[in-house]
Amino acid sequence: MGLGHVSATARPPRRTRPRDGKCAGRTFARKDALCTRGAMVIDMAKYRRDRINEEMTHEVSDIVRNIKDPRVSKHLVSVMRCEVTPDLKYCKIYYSVLGAEKEGDGFDAKELRRGLISASGFIRGQIAQRLNLRITPELQFVYDESIAYGAKISTILHRPSVQEDIRRFDELMEREAAEAAALAEAAAQEDEFDD
């Protein structure tokens, strides 16, 4: 009596993904589609954005070399990376200046940034010509101090006093390793003697 109303071709209930940002509440009948379909869409969008970031970095670094503004052209500006927002409306350009870590060479980070901002119209126009994007993003310039920081750490590590400390530390570690190996060998010999 209870089985008469159940269809022989009844499908399993549809599963709904949790709302965690990736799934957006879509429903899928197959169990294996629960994890792959939405993640693939997210991965493809991220992959496309990564490609655009790489192309933007390449093109902007080429364009910056051709800027005629003396605030920019007198320095060797290196574009470290570009980050485009998911909607492709904004792009952060991280740049660095080679040789900026030396004091007294006339480098002014604020003046260089002003020069880049004043040339942003030219840069956007060149990007629009070179890249096939629906929207040419607005540019934001961020000074990246990682090269200067790395050079500072390198000079600190090459000081004679630091080199001596590193050598003493290495000797101490070798002695401790030898003592630990001797203790382990003694314990192994003691176990053999006990047997």
- 15 φ, ψ (degrees, to nearest 5): -100, 145
- The answer to whether the CB of 131 falls within 8 A of the CB of 123 is no
**Could you tell me how many residues make up the chain?**
195
List, in sequence order, every beta strand (DSSP E) within the chain.
15-16, 27-28, 77-84, 90-97, 138-143
- Give the pLDDT of residue 11: 59
- Give the pLDDT of residue 195: 61
Residue spans of the domains in the chain: they are 27-144, 159-195
How far apart CA 180 and CA 195 sit, in angstroms, is 23
Q: What's the pLDDT tens digit per position in 161-184?
A: 888 888 889 999 999 999 999 988
* Ramachandran sector of residue 139 (left: φ over 0; alpha: ψ -120 to 50; beta: rest): beta
- The answer to whether the CB of 24 falls within 8 A of the CB of 38 is yes
Q: Which pairs from 166-169 meet CB under 8 Å and 24+ separation?
A: none
Instruction: Give the bridge partners for 94, in sequence order.
Output: 81, 142
Q: What's the pLDDT tens digit per position in 89-146?
A: 999 999 988 766 555 566 788 899 999 999 999 999 999 999 988 889 999 999 988 7
Q: What's the pLDDT tens digit per position in 50-59?
A: 999 999 999 9
Q: Average pLDDT of 39-44?
A: 62
pTM for the whole thing?
0.58
Q: What's the pLDDT tens digit per position in 51-85?
A: 999 999 999 999 999 899 888 888 888 899 999 99
- Give the pLDDT of residue 132: 87
- Give the pLDDT of residue 44: 66
**Number of C-beta neighbours around residue 18 at 10 A:** 9
Q: CATH fold of 27-144, please?
A: GMP Synthetase; Chain A, domain 3 (3.30.300)
Pairing outcome for strands 90-97 and 77-84 = antiparallel
- Give the pLDDT of residue 98: 77
- Give the pLDDT of residue 32: 43
